[in-house]
Chains A and B, each alone.
Chain A
Amino acid sequence: MIESMIQFILAGLTSGAIYALVGLGFSIIYNASHVINFAQGEFIVIGGMSTVALLAAGVPLPLAIVLATLVTMLVGLALARFAIQPAKDADVVALIIITIGASIFLRGVVQLVFGKDIHSLPAFSGETPLNLMGATLMPQSLWVMGISSALIVVIAWFFNATLAGKAMLATAYNALAARLMGVDTKWVLLSAFALSALLGAVGGIVVTPITFVSYESGIMLGLKGFSAAVLGGLGNGVGAVAGGLILGIVEAMSAGYLSSAYKDAIAFIIILVVLVVRPNGLFGKKGIDRV
């Protein structure tokens, strides 16, 4: 009984860690530009797929990971520069269409370059399961949780302790005031996309040995990341991480105790309930409208 419970929590934390990274990516871009980047899931796929391809080409794993992350960041920069910046003043609906268009576009490119097959990566440190109070844990899950936590700590440090990070926060708070204080807000938009791409790529790479990767796998992961960000309150980094973990655990629990067919539905039902009770997410501030 308690073993299966621990088992579900471990599974939930593993997928929750990925949702948290994707959700954090959504929040960073949202803060910098008020854009919801529906192409966030594609960063995961591009990260995972590029690593697979580089590894197959004989590049050692650590180098392949670094190169794949850089490739994904370049894609993120290109997206910001050529699709988001030209449409800076468009309204919410238009920006949603642009990023959905970008995700379809990138999915097409991935399918063209890497094909439609499902790929995997070898686990970073073997496949021998660890035993934790009667529950089994794959070493790769530890990698997922460890690297995600490390990234989240680094991101928190970046925003709270570096000048660049503070400049990005200032832009999120009041873009005009930030510009008047000498912050280059164009640079902020580009860095936000690069940073989100980095989070997505690393998340995609560490999780590929567990969940595999195909050109299509970004859709659901992107939606889950978006859900995590909304659950925690859009633009709230801590909220996105909490939202991701809650989502992961709830999903694993409902798959285990209720029905695996309905696990995705249950996640969305919870989000709807949260939105109805707290329209700005669990940790979001109340918005004020102006005429």
Chain B
Amino acid sequence: MTSMLPSALRLPPALHRHRGLIILAALIAVLPLALRNDYHYDVVINAGLNAIVVVGLNLLIGYAGQISLGHAAFFGLGAYVSAILTTTYGWPALGAMATGIVVVGIVAYVIARPILRLKGHYLAMATLGIGVIISIVLNTEAQVTGGPDGMSAAPFTVLGYTFASEQSWYWLVGGALLLTVWLSTNLIDSPIGRALRALHGAEIGARVVGIDTTRYKVLIFVISAMFASFAGSLFAHHTPTVTPSILGFIKSVEFVVMAVFGGMASVMGSVVGAFIMTLLPNVLAAFEDFEPIILGGIMMGTMIFMPKGLVPTIAKKLRRKEAP
């Protein structure tokens, strides 16, 4: 990333560490100039919410080297907790959101310990299974969740201010995304982050030098699930209805694709991946019939031709060009 800034723009060390965050904040600040109507805002808001999930998921995939094919379930669980508590029980939005994050954290913790002993394809199968189970439960328990028709959450009100316009939601989600990126960057630079990278490189090696690998894997799984729940709660308040389709297998796959397409182990890559993959179906809406073909083609093409993902591949090219 360093090389993406001309040397005259090099920042003091304290800011330098957060250069990605600063670039992102600047982009969020100027993006509304390009947004013409509520539909544009809606697409970008959803891209931002996806980005929050993907930044968290990428901590798990990119840094801990563990795959989850069930992350949409945590997103959906957060959304449903918010919808049920604010609508059925009249809770305040922030209280419902916090409860959702805690509940999802606990659920993730309980399933993480036995599951994360599994490796590779077995782990993929287990996370996929959990996602399917949670999705079936929410689909079936119609008296609580509204079943396949779904349910809606109360408006998002904080300290008497209700987020109603798309513009207000834009700034809310933009702020939430910056918070997520800031938390993730700090986590990666902490001793936990270093332990995670060691774990990805060689798990046995990490264990031999005294890293409690299971503890770190569980920790990062729980954190990434909580990020997903956070985004899910916001989504519930923004969308007209929360339906079980938001937590299906396909949605989980979409999250993984965003992380991998943007770039594994890259926070900025996650954001870029989420934006491109959210915008793409809207851009392709004119060729509706070809959408799955193009989407599938992009997935295969990225993995074959740039397996490290978009942002790391471009960053590497730029760096090479700049080097004397």
Known contacts A102-B300, A271-B129, A272-B130; A289 and B292 CB within 8 A of each other: no
Quick check: is A227 within 8 A (CB to CB) of the other chain?
Answer: yes
Interface residues of A in 63-96 (CB under 8 A from B): 83, 86-87, 90-96
Q: Provide the B261-302 mask, 1 if CB < 8 A to any CB of A, else 0.
A: 000100000000000000000000000011111111111101
Known contacts A265-B133, A291-B204; A272 and B126 CB within 8 A of each other: yes
Q: Which of B136, B294, B300, B304 counts the most A-chain CB atoms under 10 A from its CB?
A: B300
Quick check: is B128 within 8 A (CB to CB) of the other chain?
Answer: yes
Query: Is there contact, CB below 8 Å, between A264 and B136?
Result: yes
Query: Is there contact, CB below 8 Å, between A112 and B290?
Result: yes
Instruction: Give Cα A104 to B291, complex, Å.
Output: 10
Question: Which residue of B67, B121, B124, B290 contacts A108 across the interface (Cβ within 8 Å)?
Answer: B290
Interface residues of B in 100-146 (CB under 8 A from A): 114-115, 117-122, 124-126, 128-130, 132-133, 136-137, 139-140
Instruction: Give Cα A106 to B65, complex, Å.
Output: 28
A100 surroundings in chain B (CB, below 8 A): 253, 257, 299
Q: Provide the A98-114 mask, 1 if CB < 8 A to any CB of B, else 0.
A: 10111111111101100
Query: Is there contact, CB below 8 Å, between A279 and B117?
Result: yes
B175 surroundings in chain A (CB, below 8 A): none
Known contacts A112-B290, A291-B205; A101 and B300 CB within 8 A of each other: yes
Question: Which residue of A30, A95, A104, A226 contacts B292 across the interface (Cβ within 8 Å)?
Answer: A104
B166 surroundings in chain A (CB, below 8 A): none
Query: Is there contact, CB below 8 Å, between A98 and B122?
Result: no
Query: Is there contact, CB below 8 Å, between B293 and A101?
Result: no
A259 surroundings in chain B (CB, below 8 A): 140
Interface residues of B in 58-83 (CB under 8 A from A): 61, 65, 67, 69
Question: Which residue of B204, B205, B293 contacts A105 across the interface (Cβ within 8 Å)?
Answer: B293
Q: Which of B69, B124, B303 counts the most A-chain CB atoms under 10 A from its CB?
A: B303
Quick check: is A59 within 8 A (CB to CB) of the other chain?
Answer: no
Chain B residue, CB-CB nearest to A36: B121
Query: Is there contact, CB below 8 Å, between B125 and A289?
Result: no
B61 surroundings in chain A (CB, below 8 A): 93
Q: Provide the B241-265 mask, 1 if CB < 8 A to any CB of A, else 0.
A: 0000000011001001100100010
A2 surroundings in chain B (CB, below 8 A): none
Main secondary structure of the interface of A (DSSP, over half): helix
Instruction: Give Cα A36 to B67, complex, Å.
Output: 14
| Shortest distance between the CB of A230 and any CB in chain B (Å) | 5
Query: Is there contact, CB below 8 Å, between A92 and B121?
Result: yes
B256 surroundings in chain A (CB, below 8 A): 93, 97
Q: Provide the A255-280 mask, 1 if CB < 8 A to any CB of B, else 0.
A: 00001011011001101100110011
Query: Is there contact, CB below 8 Å, between A230 and B292?
Result: no
Query: Is there contact, CB below 8 Å, between A108 and B202?
Result: no
A83 surroundings in chain B (CB, below 8 A): 300, 304
Query: Is there contact, CB below 8 Å, between B132 and A223?
Result: yes
| Shortest distance between the CB of B165 and any CB in chain A (Å) | 35
Query: Is there contact, CB below 8 Å, between B304 and A86?
Result: yes
Query: Is there contact, CB below 8 Å, between A111 and B292?
Result: yes
Query: Is there contact, CB below 8 Å, between A101 and B132?
Result: no
* Additional 18 contacts, C-beta under 8 A, given A101-B295, A272-B130: A36-B121, A87-B303, A91-B307, A96-B121, A97-B257, A97-B260, A98-B299, A98-B300, A104-B299, A105-B297, A105-B299, A112-B293, A230-B122, A234-B121, A265-B137, A268-B129, A287-B119, A291-B204
A-B contact pairs, 11 of them (CB 8 A): A93-B256, A96-B67, A97-B257, A98-B304, A100-B257, A101-B300, A104-B296, A259-B140, A265-B137, A268-B129, A269-B129
Interface residues, chain A, with chain B CB atoms under 8 Å away = 30, 36, 83, 86-87, 90-98, 100-109, 111-112, 219, 223, 226-227, 230, 234, 259, 261-262, 264-265, 268-269, 271-272, 275-276, 279-281, 287, 289-291
